[in-house]
């Protein structure tokens, strides 16, 4: 079992989720009721699954593809450690991953 921590956008709440190896971070977030729309269901066409990875954990993630980087460029309120949750596949090495839900994660499609 892999543990993932989701911090609410205001930092007031942390939800700890149990994940299986091979699940995407987006699937886990949605299973635990996190406010990530994931409108395109992992097709890298929406950026509504944008999360901000804890800087301490960021180096543990495989680097983003060029397509992911391009999509992140279009997302609002991105940071240096922003990623698309649909593109992160959980593995045992990512146990303890911490990510924050960005405040403006909703309704960005079409902007």
Q: Which of 8, 39, 78, 91 binds ligand FES (CB under 6 A)?
A: 39
Q: What residue has token string 């993630």?
A: 61
Q: How many CB atoms within 10 Å of residue 105?
A: 24
Specify the DSSP class assigned to residue 107: S
Check binding of 76 to ligand FES (CB under 6 A).
no
Q: How far is the C-alpha of 48 from the C-alpha of 42, rounded, in Å?
A: 10
Instruction: Between 30 and 91, name the residue whose CB sits nearer to ligand FES.
Output: 30
- Residue 31 Cβ, how far from ligand FES at the closest point, in Å? 14
Check binding of 86 to ligand FES (CB under 6 A).
yes
């Amino acid at each position: 079992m892999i543990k993932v921590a989701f911090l609410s956008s205001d930092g007031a709440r942390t939800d700890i989720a149990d994940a299986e190896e091979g699940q995407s971070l987006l699937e886990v977030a949605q299973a635990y009721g996190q406010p990530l729309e994931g409108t395109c269901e992992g097709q890298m066409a929406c950026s509504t699954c944008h999360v901000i990875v804890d800087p301490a954990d960021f180096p543990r993630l495989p680097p983003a593809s060029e397509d992911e980087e391009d999509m992140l460029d279009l997302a609002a309120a991105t940071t240096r450690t922003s990623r698309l949750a649909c593109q992160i596949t959980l593995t045992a090495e990512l146990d303890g991953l911490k990510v924050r839900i960005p405040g403006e994660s909703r309704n960005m499609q079409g902007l």
